[in-house]
Amino acid sequence: MGKAKIDTAFSKVLNQGDKAFVPYIMAGDGGLENLKEQILFLEKNGATVVELGIPFSDPVADGPVIQEAGLRSLGNGTTLAAILTSLEEWKDTREIPIVLMTYINLVYSFGVEKFAERCEEVGVDGLIIPDLPLEEEELVTPALGEFGIALIRLVSPTSPSHRIEQIAKRSEGFLYAVTVKGTTGVRSKYEEGVEAYLKGLKEYAEVPVLAGFGVSSPEQVRTMSDYCDGVIVGSKIVESLHQGDRETIVALMAASKKSTVKQTSL
């Protein structure tokens, strides 16, 4: 299904007047045997797509919470091959699209063509590769295109306007709009100019624009969603899962729904 499955999921949510919500979790944090339950929990409670992190020893885009989750996962013996096998075992049980967030080293070591084919086999629909620059995308785009896997691009507020336009127009699935200068992590406030930045991306992109990095409360979910098509929440989800706090996760996802927005504005 790949790109088409992601496109369908976003169309369904946005056409009914809601905003998209993409939770990030670290595969193998808490044990790979719990991955199925974690993803089905997120699907049941209204996630649009699940972004699944692959543990890596040098996660340059990740803040402390996700770094620690990656170390816990690696400590459990989690490997990329094992994650893909787990996803394959229950791919017919889930309907929600799966997007892997990984680094180019892991893809390259696995073998780009082999990795793309394996993604298609196990029901992975898209990839986010934060350390793959636009100029080097030819390393993966032919193989991903062959197997229908979306390459989701990240765009940063520090990028010059011509580069932002290039990235926005090439993104597949959705455009990952980094909203802060730095790594992932919980933040209490955003820098000035975020609203204009997100609205500007909407003019360039042909896919939904989602705000990520630092979104950690229902209020921030609602605020960011006003400026774009939805949000990606990572550190707060990872932290809450680790602490066994499912209520916080449910509340975050509910904040992206039209009925909840109306209720909170009364």
pLDDT digits (tens, 9 = 90+) for 107-117: 999 999 999 99
- DSSP conformational letter for 160: -
At 82-94, the pLDDT tens digits run 999 999 999 999 9
Q: How many other C-beta atoms can be found within 10 angstroms of the C-beta atom of residue 69?
A: 28
At 167-212, the pLDDT tens digits run 999 999 999 999 876 544 444 455 678 889 999 999 999 999 999 9
Question: Residue 77: which region, alpha, beta or left (left: phi > 0; alpha: psi -120 to 50)?
Answer: left
Calpha distance 97→116 (Å, rounded): 16
The residues annotated as belonging to the active site are: 51, 62
Token pair, residue 65, equals 């919470």
Q: Which fold has domain 3-258?
A: TIM Barrel (3.20.20)
Q: Strand ranges (DSSP E) for 174-252?
A: 175-178, 209-212, 230-233
Token pair, residue 221, equals 């979910």
